[in-house]
């Protein structure tokens, strides 16, 4: 990033009072110089006009009139005056410096470079010429050459902070951040309040991953210029990287007061606010970002995701649809939309999107699970089992897949397969009471009464508040001639509020 601009090299050639008094033209020259110093450039031009009218070959009048015209932006006529002065007296370095500056401002870098090189033939010690050559070459993207000239400038004048600034900027552009850091520190050592030096140093620290130093540098720049909006934005981005979301929000607030049309600042502030739990305000920021940049899928996707966190699934769906309209390949938006359908129990629509997502990435485990769960809800048990099979191959130690596959197998009358799945759940989690209870029911259906009682007992050891399990165990005990055990279980179920157990108890166990 180039932030160095060529400084106007203003050298006003003063003429001794004795000489000025000797000639009326020189009186006009003297008056014009005073007007330049007073920054009344138009008045200065009029006085230089008078001097030239009296002495048409007055080189100093052309030089300074060209300078005044340069300063008001009248570059074509300034160039004419500099050319005339050089024609009259080709050995004044100031004319070449000023004309070189003019060419530079017109982005005519080759003639600018030629003028600065000409200065060096007149005065080989001119550090200003070396500095300007560095600036010109930097603008021509000849960074290495620019560094050579800045180094020569420093050799001539080691206290010239602008040369360190220029060289540091060139090093930055070449990604030689360690060298850039060294030069920029020297700039601030020589002059602590140089505009943009702390800013560029902050950028350098960011590249060097020195985030705390970057924050300090950007803060120092803001002390010099409190309205430097980029510094607020950049410091905020560093705070985001450090997960200092409160500080980031504060800086984005300051930035947006200075520039309320910056899409990225609204977007990033929304991200920071969402991490602070300020979801509604974050949604407002993403809405502001969308207003400024209505074709950015990420803002729609982010806002939709936050609406999901607010359980506003219907409101979120249009955001994901808009993101997909902008970018039909936006898989995250499609995933989020499918999850909205799932949460709203629009299982058929969800399955359609899950299939599209799996087609794009068959290894997406979470999508596979949600599809299987949706199929389970739609009573499409055989299809659900196939997806649970694939999921289990991917993650063989995730007990929920075995549990849900067992549920699907039960519905397809594959009780033996369901029992195996519940057994696997118990192997993975010996405290899973539901699996003991469900396996016990399946064993009872298969006339494995002993096994059923063992499972029900284990379930009650884990959760003694399961009235349904007491009731089921009681019924099995009754059917196996254990009336006392049956009545005890039915009584426990009845005491826990199971009305069906109460009816059976009253009819079989008496009062």
What pLDDT, on the 0 to 100 scale, is given for residue 327? 96
The pLDDT averaged over each successive group of 10 residues in the chain (511 residues) is 42 42 80 94 95 92 94 94 94 92 95 97 95 97 97 97 97 98 98 95 97 97 95 97 98 97 97 97 98 96 97 97 96 96 97 95 94 97 96 96 97 96 97 96 95 95 95 93 92 93 88 56
Q: Which two tokens stand for residue 450?
A: 């002993």
Per-residue CA distances from 172 to 168, 188, 197 (Å): 6, 16, 12
- The distance between the two most distant Cα atoms of the chain, rounded to a whole number of Å, is 140
Q: Do the domains spanning 1-106 and 435-511 agree at the CATH topology level?
A: yes
Alpha-carbon gap, residue 340 to 334, rounded angstroms: 10
Q: Domain 359-429 in CATH: superfamily?
A: Tetratricopeptide repeat domain (1.25.40.10)
Give residue limits of the domains in the chain.
1-106, 359-429, 435-511
State the pLDDT at residue 501.
87
Q: Quick one: which of 113, 133, 20, 12 has its CA closest to 66? A: 12
Q: Is 295 in a helix, a strand, or coil?
A: coil
Residues 354 and 142: their CA atoms lie apart, in Å, by 53
Angle of CA points 227, 264, 357, to nearest 5°: 170
In CATH terms, the fold of domain 1-106 is: 1.25.40
Could you tell me the two tokens for 151? Answer: 């180094």
Would you say 287 and 307 are in contact if contact means Cβ atoms under 8 Å apart? Answer: no
Q: What is the pLDDT of residue 487?
A: 93
Structure tokens at 208: 């060097």
DSSP class of residue 380 equals -
pLDDT in the model for residue 23:
77
Q: Considering Cα of 394, then 399, then 403, then 404, what sign does the dihedral take?
A: negative
Fold of 435-511: 1.25.40
* Calpha distance 261→266 (Å, rounded): 9
pLDDT at 511: 56
In 3D space, the residue among 204, 207, 201 whose CA is nearest the CA of residue 219 turns out to be: 201
Q: How far, in Å, CA of 405 to CA of 373, rounded?
A: 9
pLDDT at 10: 42
């Amino acid at each position: 990033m180039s932030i160095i601009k060529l400084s106007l090299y203003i050298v006003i050639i003063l003429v001794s009072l004795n000489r000025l008094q000797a000639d009326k033209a020189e009186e006009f020259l003297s008056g014009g110089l005073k007007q330049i110093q007073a920054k009344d450039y138009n008045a200065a031009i009029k006085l230089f006009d008078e001097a030239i009218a009296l002495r048409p070959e007055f080189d100093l009048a052309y030089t300074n009139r060209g300078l005044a015209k340069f300063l008001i932006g009248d570059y074509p006529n300034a160039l004419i005056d500099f050319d005339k002065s050089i024609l009259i007296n080709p050995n004044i370095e100031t004319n070449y410096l000023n004309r070189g500056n003019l060419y530079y401002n017109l982005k005519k870098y080759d003639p600018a470079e030629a003028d600065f090189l000409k200065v060096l033939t007149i005065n080989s010690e001119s550090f200003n010429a070396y500095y300007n050559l560095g600036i010109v070459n930097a603008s021509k993207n000849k960074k290495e050459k620019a560094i050579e000239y800045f180094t020569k400038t420093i050799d001539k004048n080691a206290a010239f902070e602008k040369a360190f600034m220029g060289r540091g900027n060139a090093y930055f552009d070449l990604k030689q951040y360690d060298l850039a850091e060294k030069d920029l520190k020297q700039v601030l050592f020589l002059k602590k309040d140089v505009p943009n030096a702390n800013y560029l140093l902050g950028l350098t620290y960011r590249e060097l991953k020195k985030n705390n130093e970057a924050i300090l540098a950007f803060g120092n720049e803001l002390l010099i210029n409190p309205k430097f909006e980029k510094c607020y934005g950049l410091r905020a981005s560093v705070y985001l990287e450090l997960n200092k979301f409160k500080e980031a929000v504060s800086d984005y607030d300051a930035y947006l007061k200075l520039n309320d049309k910056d899409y990225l600042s609204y977007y990033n502030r929304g991200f920071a606010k969402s991490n602070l739990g300020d979801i509604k305000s974050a949604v407002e920021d993403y809405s502001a970002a969308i207003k400024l940049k209505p074709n950015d899928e990420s803002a729609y996707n982010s806002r939709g995701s936050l609406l999901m966190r607010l359980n506003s699934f219907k409101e979120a769906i249009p955001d994901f649809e808009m993101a997909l309209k902008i970018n039909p390949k936006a898989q995250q938006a499609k995933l989020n939309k499918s999850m909205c359908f799932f949460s709203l129990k629009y299982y058929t629509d969800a399955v359609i999107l899950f299939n599209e997502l799996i087609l794009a990435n068959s290894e997406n485990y979470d999508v596979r699970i949600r599809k299987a769960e949706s199929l389970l809800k739609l009573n499409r048990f055989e299809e659900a089992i196939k997806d649970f099979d694939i999921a289990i191959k991917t993650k063989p130690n995730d007990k929920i897949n075995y549990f849900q596959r067992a549920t699907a197998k039960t519905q397809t009358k594959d009780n033996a397969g369901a029992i195996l799945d519940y057994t696997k759940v118990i192997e993975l989690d010996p405290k899973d009471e539901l699996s003991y209870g469900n396996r016990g029911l399946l064993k009872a259906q298969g006339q494995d009464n002993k096994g059923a009682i063992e499972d029900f007992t284990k379930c009650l050891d884990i959760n003694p508040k399961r009235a349904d399990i007491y009731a089921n165990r009681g019924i099995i005990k009754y059917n196996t001639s254990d009336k006392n055990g049956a009545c005890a279980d039915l009584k426990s179920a009845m005491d826990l509020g199971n009305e069906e157990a109460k009816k059976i108890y009253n009819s079989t166990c008496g009062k």
